[in-house]
Structure 1
Amino acid sequence: MPKLGMEPVRKRQLIDAAIETLCRYGWHETTVVRIGREAGLSPGIIHHYFAGKDDLLAAAMRRILVEFRHEVTSRLSAAGDPRGRLRAVIEGCFAPSQFRPEICAAWLAFWAQAPFAPELDRLRRVYISRLRSTVLADLRRLLPEEQAELAVLSLASLIDGLFLRAASGDSRVSPEIALELAFGHLDQFLAGRAQVH
């Protein structure tokens, strides 16, 4: 029986180990045994806290999404105009805590498994909805509605695509390049568009 008060510590250890193992081996080669070995814990303890690999990935993604939300909201609070707020969201997406190999690998596994696991699919829908509503609110202040809808889809696709490219081992996709591409994409979309008031 685990010691009283150890649950949060153990869960964090296991989530960290799962993220690291995903980065090293990919989804299909990530096993409960490998996660346990990475955490320095027995595989049995994993089943005490998590129903299985999907459950552990969902826990990892919940934590990643909380950290992502913190990165974005802390930047939004310092942003002024709509363009500055949009840049703040992009900066939050590619913050050092987010755009690193382990987190990109977790995102890759998440996108691949979400259609097959209800909890992962729910998290995917929450992520898409929150990112869309955050970005769309400011795009609507800069673009007509139809263009704002296209811009949010385009920008979200670029952000997710850069994460997937990085997770696939494309070394050209550094945080600096990702920011440059996303900022450039936003600027191109906004260039010459009529302001909406």
Structure 2
Amino acid sequence: MPKVGMPEIRKPQLVKATMAVIDRVGLHAASIALISKEAGVSTGIINHYFGGKHGLLEETMREILRQHSATIIQSLARLPKEAYQQRIIAIVDGNFVGFQAENQVAKTWLAFWSYSMHEPQLKRLQRVNEKRLLSHLKIELKALFGADQAEVIAHGIAALIDGIWLRGTLNPQGIDADKARFIINDYLDKQLTFYSKK
């Protein structure tokens, strides 16, 4: 996390530079020297305010997570509380459209996923993100299903989001938001049909 006193104008500049360098050379080769050159700042500024590469990567992921969360919250705020299926798709869309689907952001996410297995702070951020997604989904699903079913279906949708997102990120054509929406809507419709017959 950046130290108090970090000029607010510098944070977006450094986050953007971090994503650009990861996009170009990958996470492991994304050195402080390359990032500082991209941002047009000295390496000392990054080391002083972020404590090095790990701190800057953490701040980059925090910014991506903030934008991700804001996108979903804004989308949900525009929909009626009773439009449960639309609200679920709005949560899904938050993972596949706009900022989250930009190439540099997607590559940074992918690097973050792999890095979080070995970095406790990044692993904690990943868990926060996962819990937030499941919480958003379960709130909407509990209006359509019992609590146990909502839990299972929320995990199913989260797994579909992760899988579709991963495949899309590794695909040269990128993420297909329409296809993602179709697949998850189809899964949700099947769950609604299945549980309505019970």
TM-score of the two chains, using structure 2 as the length reference: 0.86
Deviation at 1:133, TM superposition (A): 0.9
The corresponding residue for 2:190 is 188
Number of positions where the alignment pairs a residue of Structure 1 with one of Structure 2: 192
The corresponding residue for 1:178 is 180
Instruction: List aligned pairs for 1:35-184, cutoff 5 A.
Output: 35-80=35-80, 81-171=83-173, 173-184=175-186
Contact kept in structure 1, 2:92 and 2:181, CA below 8 Å: yes
Separation (CA, whole Å) in 1 of partners of 2:169 and 2:35:
19
Overall identity of the aligned pairs, in %? 34
- Quick one: which amino acid aligns to residue 79 of structure 1? L
Contact kept in structure 1, 2:58 and 2:121, CA below 8 Å: yes
The corresponding residue for 2:31 is 31
The one-character-per-residue Cα deviations of 1:54-99 (angstroms, maximum 9, x if unpaired) are: 2111101111111111111111112222212111111222221211
Contact kept in structure 2, 1:107 and 1:163, CA below 8 Å: no
Separation (CA, whole Å) in 2 of partners of 1:101 and 1:192:
37
- Quick one: which amino acid aligns to residue 156 of structure 1? A
Separation (CA, whole Å) in 1 of partners of 2:73 and 2:197:
25
- Quick one: which amino acid aligns to residue 141 of structure 2? L
Distance 1:20 1:190, change over 3 A: farther
Deviation at 1:172, TM superposition (A): 5.7
- Quick one: which amino acid aligns to residue 9 of structure 2? V
- Quick one: which amino acid aligns to residue 17 of structure 1? A
- Quick one: which amino acid aligns to residue 67 of structure 1? Q
Contact kept in structure 1, 2:76 and 2:90, CA below 8 Å: yes
Gaps of at least 5 residues in structure 2 are none
Gaps of at least 5 residues in structure 1 are none
- Quick one: which amino acid aligns to residue 191 of structure 1? T
TM-score of the two chains, using structure 1 as the length reference: 0.87
Separation (CA, whole Å) in 2 of partners of 1:152 and 1:103:
24
Provide the aligned C-alpha RMSD in A.
Answer: 2.2
Which moved further from structure 2: 183-192 or 65-74? 183-192
Contact kept in structure 2, 1:82 and 1:138, CA below 8 Å: yes
Separation (CA, whole Å) in 1 of partners of 2:192 and 2:54:
40
Contact kept in structure 2, 1:58 and 1:119, CA below 8 Å: yes
